[in-house]
Structure 1
Amino acid sequence: MQAILGDRVIATAEKDDLIRIEGNWYFPPASIDWSSLEESPTPYTCPWKGVCQYYSLSDGPSDIAWSYPEPYDGAAERVGKDFAGYVAFDPRVTVGE
């Protein structure tokens, strides 16, 4: 699977390595091209996942990705897998095979 914005590939991973949460594919941290992203100051806290970290494209749109670096207790059990640091993308980013 890949996460692509325009002609830029931001993440690549095997589908079996991704986690599906609330309709979004979360990519493992090692699959992310971190040179393309920078942390965003946008605040958000999910009531059951925890404090969210947003990311913007370093030379493009803001808040195109997010992760939960330290999910709340019980969140991994709810999902069925530890998703700490995994990254999901908003609809501006095409995620597919």
Structure 2
Amino acid sequence: MNLDKSKKRIAKRAKMGFQGFPTISLTYYGKTTSHANEVMIEFVLEEGADTQVERFSSKIDAREDEVIQSAIVKMIERSEAKTVVQIDGVLIAA
């Protein structure tokens, strides 16, 4: 899937706000706030359920990695997530 198309689909779902469960949360991490070399995806099936975590790493910026962004879209679709939360910016990895 095209990188721009993937990013737009994720952003559109994130702008919808809370729509119920299941939920997927996306958090980008990096050594600096300008370069994300890792993305953490958290999936919650229902309220009170355990969180399932998946991480992807990239040598380039994970936000610009077509493979990672396409995989995120597929995870959203396959899990039938009603809510997508995308944390703005890049958090500094400890």
TM exceeding 0.5:
no
Ranked by relative contact order (alpha carbons within 8 Å, sequence separation 6 or more), the top structure is 2
Q: Which has the higher strand share?
A: 1
Instruction: Specify which structure has the higher proportion of helix.
Output: 2
Under a length normalisation based on structure 1, what TM-score does the superposition of the two structures give? 0.30
